[in-house]
Amino acid sequence: MLELYGTTISSRLLLGTARYPSPAILAEAVRRSQTAIVTVSLRRETAGGKTGGAFFEMIRDLGVRVLPNTAGCHSVSEAVLTAKMAREVFATNWIKVEVIGHHDTLQPDVFALVEAARILTAEGFEVFPYTTDDLVVAEKLLEAGCKVLMPWCAPIGSAAGPLNLTALRAMRAHFPDVPLVVDAGIGRPSHAATVMELGYDAVLLNTAVSGAADPAAMAGAFAKAIEAGNEAFYAGMLEPRDMAVPSTPVIGKAVFA
């Protein structure tokens, strides 16, 4: 079981809700993923004349916990205002904070992120910050009041998988008691299994599922991979060796003259 801000969660897969072919396919993907948390972008769903109200009602009907996010925000003021609006719409203090600093890579503006996290935490929010794998930034986010960290493993939507395993290992080792959720860059179930084998607590997915030919089937595949990676980590995996080690013992082997 996973604990986030004092709440016990039954699944280690968090699922985004953007860009699915239809509401029915989204609902089936949520079911197959067995997720207990979905993320929703308030700005995305209310922009451009979209019927945000109907979408939000459909999300509520899924019977899972909603983690609103500030996707599309590029400043502290935008992120804070969006978070406050999301709290009103979804009646939750949970907020995933994104403050984008680079249009092409969608890399977070970590300076604005820390400031937004500090403001929102002071106002009673429980912040899930989308950040990089930088240890100093992570320390600043924890000092700002965050109790969960959400580092990327590659740029949003890139499907590149973990680009810097050394940095991800270092973050896990440096923050052994902080819930760490890999957010952004995962494209395949094997990528998810890899980061879970490092000891990460959960994975947040969107494009890897919504962009698949069969999103529901892909959601199920990710659920299995995440569970397998988590079980493997706690089972204790063999580390790579520099030489061959026989699986069959040679001591006591019969010798024929």
Catalytic: which of 96, 140, 147, 224? Answer: 96
Q: Is 96 a catalytic residue?
A: yes
Query: The sheet that has 37-41: what strands, in order across it?
Result: 150-151, 126-131, 94-97, 65-69, 37-41, 13-16, 202-205, 181-183
Alpha helices in 70-204 (DSSP H): 76-90, 110-122, 135-143, 165-174, 189-197
Quote the CA–CA distance of 188 and 225 in Å, as a whole number: 9
Amino acid at 17: T
CA distance 153 to 158: 10
Q: Which of 70, 75, 73 is nearest to 86 (CA)?
A: 70
**Which residues are tagged catalytic?**
96
